[in-house]
């Protein structure tokens, strides 16, 4: 490397980020990020607010912002790195050089520089947290996705021949109808249960099996549909006891015990 190599590299990077006509935080979200400045006094609240705001950025902008912030923070903290400017400290130089690339309004108001300096300074100090996904949001999304996956119930038919096509109770629907259940998972589960109940192609044994599986997977939905055992028994009425009694009486009459008669010798 030659003397001044670091400055030339820094100038090349600065030119690359200053070239685009729109800042990384975009003109569309300028007001959004400006409104977070009032929350930066409390670190935890400020970090969470910026986390959510940064998730709204286009993926390309978010990735470039992440790389830029990492570079700025590392240069500012690297005491062994040669000075990039004779009179300005590395941290101040990073903020002055890149703040306009990160945040500015489309109309270029006078306070842009002040706002951008304050925001970029905070983001440099907490860039790893700010550009990460909030833990509570990640957990909520994972739980929601897991719930949506459970909505698609697959019933394994152990008695069916593996070579035969599996039976389904679904019909082809449009893309809008497909998206509708995700907006109301509870209604989708209720509709799924009703389809099982109303299906006439299943045998009683198979229907009972599927209902039992549904009850085990979604007890609350099942309980809302069948709040009592009486409401459940209506679906599968028992055979008439009278018929059973008549059959028993007929069998009993057919097999009367044999009575021995006394024999007389002549």
Say yes or no to pLDDT of 164 above 50: no
Question: Model-level pTM?
Answer: 0.53
Confidence of residue 247 (pLDDT cuts 50, 70, 90): low
Q: 3-state DSSP call for residue 6? A: helix
Tens digit of each residue's pLDDT (9 = 90 or more) over 19-62: 999 999 999 999 999 999 999 999 999 999 999 999 999 999 99
Q: Are 188 and 195 in contact (CB under 8 A)?
A: no
Of 52-66, 67-81, 161-175, the poorest mean pLDDT is in 161-175
Say what the pLDDT of residue 143 is: 84
d(CA 155, CA 168): 9
Pick the more confident residue, 221 or 48.
48
Mean pLDDT, the chain, whole residue set: 79
| Higher local confidence (pLDDT), 253 or 13 | 13
Q: Name which of 34-43, 66-75, 207-216, 253-262 the model is least confident about.
A: 253-262
Quote the pLDDT of residue 264. 47
Q: Residue 242: what pLDDT?
A: 44
Burial 88-125 (b: 16+ CB within 10 A, else e): eebbebbbebbbbbbbbeeeeeeebeebbbebbebbbe
Please give the backbone phi and psi of residue 138, each rounded to the nearest 5 degrees, phi first. Answer: -65, -40
Number of Cβ within a 10 Å radius of residue 194: 11
Whether 213 has a pLDDT exceeding 60, the answer reads: yes
Specify the residue for token string 């309980």. 223
Q: CB count, 10 Å around CB of 72?
A: 24
Who's near 62: CB < 8 A, 6+ residues apart? Answer: 54, 55, 131
Report which listed range, 34-38, 223-227, 257-261, is most confident. 34-38
Percent of the chain at pLDDT > 70 equals 75
How many C-beta atoms lie closer than 10 Å to residue 183's C-beta? 8
Tell me the three state secondary structure of residue 90: helix
pLDDT digits (tens, 9 = 90+) for 173-206: 666 665 555 556 677 777 778 888 888 777 888 8
State both tokens at 73: 């923070």
Share of the chain above pLDDT 90, in %: 38
Instruction: Let me know the angle formed at the C-alpha of 161 by 160 and 165, rounded to the nearest 5 degrees.
Output: 85
Give the pLDDT confidence score for residue 146 in this predicted structure.
82
Residue 110 has pLDDT above 60, yes or no: yes
pLDDT at 263: 47
Output the CA torsion sign for 144, 148, 153, 154: negative
**Of 76-85, 172-181, 227-236, 242-251, highest mean pLDDT:** 76-85
Burial of 34 (0-12, 13-18, 19+ CB in 10 A): middle
* pLDDT at 155 > cutoff 50: no
- Token digits for 177? 């109808």
């Amino acid at each position: 490397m030659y003397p001044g190599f670091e400055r030339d590299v820094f100038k090349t990077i600065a030119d690359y980020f200053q070239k685009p006509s729109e800042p990384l935080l975009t003109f569309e979200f300028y007001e959004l990020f400006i409104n977070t400045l009032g929350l930066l006094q409390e670190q935890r609240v400020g970090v969470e607010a910026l986390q959510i705001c940064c998730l709204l950025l286009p993926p390309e902008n978010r990735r470039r912002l992440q790389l830029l912030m990492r570079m700025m923070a590392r240069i500012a903290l690297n005491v062994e790195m040669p000075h990039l400017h004779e009179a300005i400290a590395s941290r101040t130089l990073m903020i002055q050089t890149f703040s306009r690339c990160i945040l500015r309004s489309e109309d270029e108001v006078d306070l842009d520089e002040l706002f951008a300096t304050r925001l970029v300074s905070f983001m440099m100090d907490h860039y790893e947290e700010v550009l990460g996904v909030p833990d509570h949001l990640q957990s909520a999304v994972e739980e929601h996705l897991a719930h949506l996956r459970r909505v698609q119930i697959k019933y394994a038919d152990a008695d069916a021949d593996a070579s035969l096509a599996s039976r389904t109770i679904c019909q082809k629907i449009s893309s809008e109808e497909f998206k509708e259940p995700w907006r109301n998972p509870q209604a989708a589960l209720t509709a799924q249960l009703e389809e099982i109940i109303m299906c006439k192609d299943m045998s009683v044994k198979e229907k009972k099996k599927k209902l039992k599986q549904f009850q085990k997977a979604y007890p609350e939905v099942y309980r809302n549909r069948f709040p009592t055992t009486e409401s459940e028994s209506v679906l599968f009425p028992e055979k008439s006891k009278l018929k059973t009694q008549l059959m028993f009486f007929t069998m009993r009459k057919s097999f009367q015990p044999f009575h021995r008669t006394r024999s007389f010798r002549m």
